[in-house]
Structure 1
Amino acid sequence: MNALAPASFGAALSAARDAAGAQHYPQGTLYVVATPIGNLADITLRALHVLEIVDAIACEDTRHTQGMLRAYGIDRPGAQLLAVHQHNEAEAAQAVVARLAQGERIAYVSDAGTPGVSDPGARLAAAVRAAGHRVLPLPGASSVIALVQAAGLVAEGGDERSAFVFAGFLPSKTGERDTAVQALSREPRSVVLLEAPHRIEALARALVILGERRVTVGRELTKQFEEIATVAASALPDWVSAGRDRTRGEFALVLHPVAVAADDGAEAERVLRLLLAELPLKGAVKLAAEISGAPRNALYDAALKLRDGP
């Protein structure tokens, strides 16, 4: 994370108390708190207030979290930080449940970003809910959403594809990763991937089979040396090798939606005709677009013509 002096956040902490202090924070609740993915200023006021008032903070790495809290001017004794990470999450969750049963407020943070999204937290939330306690999410920074915002996911022909599939980290073994990429090659929607620096070169080579399909790469998102670029999948290895720093930092990647081939129009219209016979116009268009991958706007125009005639 970008290092900023604790004094820089004095006003933010005061603003957090003013803005969020009057809200209700029920006891016996797990607060799942998103934290910055790189830039410390990307914390929310409500997150700051909750991290200050809860009885304890469960976290992926206690030392990392202690440093983050101190940067915000929040002083927590080590005894109030509970280690809950991928290696002990199932067991540690029971200790958290026991404290919630006593009426404590517990926050959970991962090292960066939104817990439960390729980070620990899902098992903890499931255990807390199964025990009958409330899980209250505090949304915030996410590398997935950040990259989707910047990628401009518009398919050929101008159709905007807001839907995307989150695939996260692909398998680390070569054969399993290649099989996963083959499966993704048949996915027409946008696909978001995450990758670690020591595996980005291997992932780039694996994605070459996608040919001219566009890939937007986000490296070190929100940090000082953030880099975002869009290249053809076939050119991704060259992009990675073009700079020494391009194998450093955390990566998010999004495969752009597959362009619909012109000769797919007849098949898309055939599907549309069949659906229009059974469904209302909007429902038929929506389903036809999902089945065929054809642009929804074009299918809607076609549906109007089929319904109203020439």
Structure 2
Amino acid sequence: MTFETKATIASFGGKLLKLQHDSKSTGTPMALNLYLPPQTNTTKVPVLIYLSGLTCTGDNCAEKGFLQRHAAQHGIAIVYPDTSPRGASIAGEDDSWDFGTGAGFYVDATNGPWEKNYKMYSYITSELPSTLFPAYKDQLDSSRVSITGHSMGGHGALTLFLKNPGMYKSVSAFAPISNPINCPWGQKAFAGYLGEDKEAWKAHDATELLKEWKGKGFKALIDVGTGDNFYKQGQLLPENFEKAAKEAGAEVEVRYQPDYDHSYFFISTFGEDHVAYHAKFLKN
């Protein structure tokens, strides 16, 4: 099998697998978590991909988000990938918490020295599914896949959905970086990974992509906490995404949750709603 199983943990009647494999996209070993609900004992199940935020690994939400409980109820598997290559030995990749290790931003870098290893867009959209689904062909239904994420991962979920019409059945996000070309996190990451051509940045910005959306009706569920310091600091900019959605005639529900912050207390509180939201699309 392509994947090495590092641990198998019983969880809500199913199993959480801690996996590792060698990635051609990143040129490094990549770790991930895969939750198989109890229904996989008898049938294939649909899949929800959860993309994590800055500084996180595939472990964070798997261990603190409690999404497995709701996934088990709905019969949905969850994939928790990592957020960047690890140990690529690039000078400066560990100098700051919001760029480099743990901060791949789900783009394919085109700017040196990052372009060799920081290929998280290709890893998530191509290599991981083409490797994971055959390896677990008896448990996972590759024709029914949805995507969600938090913060940087919310940016990833929205942009990957918008850039790949038909690849995912549905999309949602927790506190997404909704308009990265206009916030400090996004500007730092895009300048580093993509270079100084700001027009090229727009191809990885959910707000800009939604303005150009040519597919069928776009729908999304987004939650943002009003007590989130990153929201207050202008890193998330959900209002810009809401405006683009309104102009595009898209069905985007942005729920501003009073007093909630940016943490897993927030994610675990509203995770039930997000899993149920995806279940409506994944079971059709």
TM score, norm. by length of structure 2: 0.29
Greater helix share, structure number: 1
TM score, norm. by length of structure 1: 0.27
Greater strand share, structure number: 2
